[in-house]
Amino acid sequence: MRTIFLLFIINISILTTAQEIKFFGEAKPGGLVIGTGENIISAVLNNTKLQIDKNEVFLFGFDRDASGKYLLKVIFKNKKIQTYEYIIEKKDYEEQHLRLAKKYVTPPKKLRNRIQHEALLMKSARIKVGKVKDAFFMEGFVYPVDSVDIRSTFGLQRILNGKPSNVHNGLDFGGSEGDSIRAITDGIVRIAGKNFFYNGNFVLLDHGQGLTSVYLHMSKIIAKDNQKIKKGEVIGLIGETGRATGPHLHLGVQWYKKRIDPMSLFEIKF
């Protein structure tokens, strides 16, 4: 079924002169939208205040399961207000059936403390996300691998060993052990995690204003904690560490806690 997304624009103005805002991206489930203009002092999506950097850039995203009405309100220095209404229709996703080692579907008790500890490390790393309002992502986006071979798409409902499990919140890129993994845009390393039960070796990058990307199952980590990374810089090598069925890269993207389709970033052209 093809989902149609509608965008309605409503201008509420004190002055008659229009203020121009340029938007990049698409308002849809798993979509990301970047806005930029002049003399912007405030931007709010529903009740969420958005960060605005020194170049008057802001962004917002829609979760995998987003639906309903969203209202963006932008206020300018001349007290002019513009509002944009987005109507999002819920998207249906296909199922993906996988066979995995039993311990990765139902971990034994002896592994639970390790899994909980690793979850706390990730939580601590993500606490820092949103504290940087600089729009590092305005450098644009590139694929994280040299040869693009997408093995699994975003949003799939996964059936593991015959039982429904978590949805697939990223893109899986096929590759060979040792192939380079590159940063999709500029950012800061929030955690370079080693040998996590599910993630294996991985890197989490903070791109500013709540946007993050995570790169899982590496055979080798090259980036280091708190390192500043440039778009296209090699941060690790493809592997099959953690919960993986073969050498590949799992790329996940979030805007704060909202799950974003990485493909929606690669489709953005500034």
Query: What is this structure's pTM?
Result: 0.90
Structure tokens at 181: 């993994």
Structure tokens at 133: 């309002």
Q: Which amino acid, residue 49?
A: K
- How far apart, in whole angstroms, are the C-alpha atoms of residue 79 and residue 98? 55
Mean predicted confidence (pLDDT) in 175-188: 98
The pLDDT confidence band at residue 108, using thresholds 50, 70 and 90, is: confident
Per-residue model confidence (pLDDT) at position 98:
73
Give the tens place of pLDDT for each residue, 121-142.
999 999 999 999 999 999 999 9
Nearest to 209 by CA among 153, 258, 162: 258
Per-residue model confidence (pLDDT) at position 93:
84
Asked if pLDDT for residue 10 goes beyond 60, the answer is no
Domain 6-88 CATH assignment equals 3.30.67? no
Task: Provide, rounded to the nearest whole percent, the portion of the chain with pLDDT above 70.
Answer: 91
Asked if pLDDT for residue 84 goes beyond 90, the answer is yes
Per-residue model confidence (pLDDT) at position 6:
43
Chain centroid offset of residue 80 CA? 32
Per-residue model confidence (pLDDT) at position 211:
98
Per-residue model confidence (pLDDT) at position 105:
72
Please check whether residue 189 is in contact with residue 229, taking contact to mean a CB–CB distance below 8 angstroms. yes
- How far apart, in whole angstroms, are the C-alpha atoms of residue 105 and residue 151? 21
Give the tens place of pLDDT for each residue, 184-233.
999 999 999 999 999 999 999 999 999 999 999 999 999 999 999 999 99
Which one has a higher pLDDT value, 243 or 98? 243
Asked if pLDDT for residue 8 goes beyond 50, the answer is no
CA 186, 257, 260, 245 torsion-angle sign: positive
- The pLDDT mean for the chain works out to 90
Task: Provide, rounded to the nearest whole percent, the portion of the chain with pLDDT above 90.
Answer: 79
Q: Where in the chain is the domain with CATH 2.60.40?
A: 6-88
Please check whether residue 207 is in contact with residue 187, taking contact to mean a CB–CB distance below 8 angstroms. yes
Strands of the sheet with 57-61, listed across from one edge: 21-25, 32-37, 57-61
Please check whether residue 82 is in contact with residue 11, taking contact to mean a CB–CB distance below 8 angstroms. yes
Mean predicted confidence (pLDDT) in 52-72: 97
Q: Where in the chain is the domain with CATH 2.70.70.10?
A: 95-266
Domain 95-266 CATH assignment equals 2.70.70.10? yes
Which one has a higher pLDDT value, 238 or 167? 238
Per-residue model confidence (pLDDT) at position 100:
67
- Other C-beta atoms closer than 10 Å to the C-beta of 107 total 15
